Amino acid sequence: MSKIIWSKIDEAPALATYSLLPIVNAFTKAAGVEVVTSDISLAGRVLAAMGLAQDELSKLGEVVLQEDGNIIKLPNISASVGQLKDCIAELQGQGYDIPNYPENPANDEEKAIQAKYSTCLGSAVNPVLREGNSDRRAAVAVKKFAQKNPHRLKAFSENSKARVMHMEGNGDFYGNEKSVTSTKNQKVTIALNGKELKTIDALEGEVLDGTFMSVAALKAFYKKTIEAAKADGVIWSLHLKATMMKISDPIMFGHAFVAFFEDVFAKYADTFKELGVNPNQGMSDLEKKIKGHALEAEIKLAFQTVVEADAPKIAMVDSSKGQTNFNASNDVIIDASMPVVVREGGKQWQRNDDAEETIAVIPDSTYGMFHAEMVADCVKNGQYDVTTMGTMQNIGLMAQKAEEYGSHPTTFELAEAGTVTVTAEDGTCLMSFECEAGDIWRMARTKDIPIRDWVRLTVERTRLENVPAVFWLDEKRAHDAELIKKVNEYLKEYDTNGLDIQFMNVTDATRFTNGRVREGKTTIAVTGNVLRDHLTDMYPILELGTSAKMLSIVPLIAGGGLYETGAGGSAPKHVDQFLAEGHLRWDSLGEFLALAESLRFLGNKHADDKLTALTAALDVANDGYLDNSKEPSRKCGEPDNKASHFFVAQYWAKALAEGNNAELAAKFAPVAKALIENEDKIMAELLAAEGKPQDIGGYFHPDDTKAEAAMRPSTTLNAIIDSI
């Protein structure tokens, strides 16, 4: 029996799995495929780090290196320190004997505990599993459905003041970057004033980048943006990615928090030091630290006074709870938050819950340039037309921890001023940097094999699609200059006659892509890892209403496949609603599409008629799901995620019953009949379960029995599925 591994993860997609997976297994086992789970949730990884559970992530790290590896990976929590601490507290409450997370370890034992827990922070999962480059695009049926059933994009006002501000000059990661290609396998040492920070094993052909964020320049930049927002009377909003860039971005977040509330932090500096307040963790953590202190009310009032002064206005993550952009570093994630700015006509929400124009603050110009051009394009040319706009497809360089998302082990907040050197094994200085204390220095690495595969995948997709492909590479950026040399060499290995393959910097590539999108045309964006993330949320949210509807395929270099589903940025709000009223609005279309591609991979590999029929029927079911608008409603009392799963099962069974595989047709004909004839009864049972609070035994680590009961409330549907 063939095997597909389905990741057990967190929040809304994890809840959906309790309902969907029994249906999936009932259908796939009929064609000789078993879908098994692997727990890589935050709670699962915490327990594994403490030796209380199997290390499933490491096991999956071995699967992706196998020729027949086949994994469906749902969006997981990329944990901030705050989320990690909450997860630990929940597990302790469930009886697990694990220690607290020591924020400021005082001895070797606490340092060891922190090191174990730190493996669970940020992008712990993706670098392990992504042993291939990314192929992301909208399925044709999904794109057509969006054009026929357009979601609303709000107009930009005439003379809009909305814009993106990013750093310029030599202060940021872009301006300070240096890059070299290693000429052999060798040890490379990073040192500050001669004291070793880290030694790595560099490979021949590997691109090594060194760069730093000047904290002095960063502080000056924040001050400039705050004054600009105040002068323009617009909302000030910060956009970072502290979940993936788990070392650098929380520090940048903390500096912004202090800059915005400069007087408050100055006045209470001694108190905050005494209580161990860390601005990198945001207001929610600060409030926990001051709870019960004699000055608690006074400090809270001081912060509130700044917010209510509207000088400038501050973006809110939840105005009903008074939570600002600084509530927690993981609340605002740039690839999810910036598409909302564009979708809403250049606006964010302020404390009175009014949407107003914003200055979106993105410190590093490396990616700030993309978002700046997206907003500027809409200010100049108006909002997009969903019914006619074209599409962006993406080939992303991400295999083997490529680029910035793999830089955590080599990112440092410098303890002193001086010279950072990157030195080869033979003593040759490859790069050096003059830095100040507190600057954020990092090295990113990109191995040669992923670059070669990136070029191969680009040529393959460009020939299949017969549209222009653009490498988003900037000859003025040190890293990109090294990649341009390599890409030009590797393109010579392929027949590119008749293919339109170009190179452009970020701003030009954005303008080129947007021009074609406005003309209804398709363009392939060939990008690095971080831009892949930003583009494959921005364009799908504008085109389709959500990035969860994108096909996200990772053809693994070893020969297998990793099929990623959806985007989990809104998953916490979905869980909140489910716990309050039993309604889960998570859309599982990403899972449906990923499953179809996963089955297609197996069918093609093994030339299996049953698998081919099963996959074709699921394609029909997915089309039916879209054509009949069976996506979950946002409102309690209307069909939700559980109902979506029911309808996909009904359409899938019907397609199999009418299909050309006699064995599967005979098996699923009575299933289809039962699902169709009992539709009213099943829907009544599903809707009857809504409107009341749900107890699933935990947020990060739910009780499987309770969660399954909450997500499978229809006894009629369960009986039909379980009898297959």
pLDDT tens readout for residues 642-664: 999 999 999 999 999 999 999 99
Residue 417 has pLDDT above 80, yes or no: yes
The pTM of this model reads 0.89
CA distance 657 to 672: 7
As a whole number, mean pLDDT of residues 688-698 equals 96
CA separation for the pair 307, 351 (Å, rounded):
8
Name residue, tokens 């069909």.
Answer: 639
Greater confidence (440 vs 140) lies with: 440
Whether the predicted pLDDT of 241 surpasses 70:
yes
Please give the Cα distance from 215 to 212 (Å, whole number).
9
Specify the pLDDT at position 351. 93
CB neighbour list of residue 597: distance below 8 Å, 6 or more residues apart: 551, 553, 561, 563
Contact 530, 477 (CB under 8 A): no
Tens-place pLDDT, residues 13-42 = 999 999 999 999 999 999 999 999 999 999
Cβ atoms 124, 44 nearer than 8 A? no
Task: Give the rounded percent of residues in the chain with a pLDDT score beyond 70.
Answer: 99
**pLDDT over threshold 70, residue 570:** no
Tokens (6 digits) for 232: 């323009």
Token pair listed for 316: 């809110």
pLDDT(566) > 80: no
E-strand ranges in 20-172 read: 33-39, 70-73, 134-138, 163-165
Tell which wins on pLDDT, 523 or 330. Answer: 523
**pLDDT at residue 689 tops 90:** yes
pLDDT of 568: 57
Q: Quickly state the pLDDT bin for 550 (edges 50, 70, 90).
A: confident
**Nearby residues of 427 by Cβ (< 8 Å), 6 or more positions away:** none
Instruction: State which H helix or E strand residue 466 sits in.
Output: none
Q: What is the pLDDT of residue 25?
A: 97
Give DSSP secondary structure letters for 223-271.
HHHHHHHHHHT-EEEE-B-TTTSTTHHHHHHHHHHHHHTHHHHHHTHHH
Residue 567 pLDDT: 65
Buried b (16+ CB within 10 A) or exposed e, 569-602: bbbbebbebbbebbbbbbbbbbbbbbbbbbbbbb
Mean pLDDT of 486-498: 97
- The DSSP-derived string for 2-62 is EEEEEEE-SHHHHHHHHHHHHHHHHHHGGGTEEEEEEE-SHHHHHHHHTTSS--HHHHHHH
Q: In this model, does residue 164 exceed pLDDT 90?
A: yes
* pLDDT score, position 549: 83
pLDDT for the residue 605: 83
How does DSSP classify residue 155?
A: P
Average pLDDT, the chain: 95
Measured between alpha carbons, how far is 715 from 724 in angstroms, rounded to an integer?
15
Q: Is the pLDDT assigned to residue 569 strictly greater than 80?
A: no
Is 538 within 8 Å of 544 (Cβ atoms)? no
| Tokens 């690095």 -> residue | 528
pLDDT score at 403: 92
**SS3 label, residue 724:** coil
Instruction: State the pLDDT at residue 1.
Output: 78
How many Cβ atoms sit within 10 Å of the Cβ of residue 711?
27
Given a cut of 80, whether residue 288 has pLDDT beyond it is yes
pLDDT at 123: 78
- The dihedral through the CA atoms of 103, 109, 112, 116 has a sign that is negative
The mean pLDDT of 363-385, rounded to a whole number, is 97
pLDDT digit string (tens) for 79-131?
888 899 999 999 999 999 999 999 889 999 999 999 999 999 987 898 899 89
- Residues 629-641 have pLDDT tens digits of 999 999 999 999 9
Instruction: Report whether 139 contacts 93 (CB < 8 A).
Output: no
β-sheet bridge partners, residue 318:
323
Tell me the C-alpha distance between 41 and 243, whole Å.
Answer: 15
**321 Cβ neighbours under 8 A, 6+ residues apart:** none
Model confidence at 545, pLDDT cuts 50, 70, 90, reads very high
| Phi, psi of 303, deg, nearest 5 | -65, -45
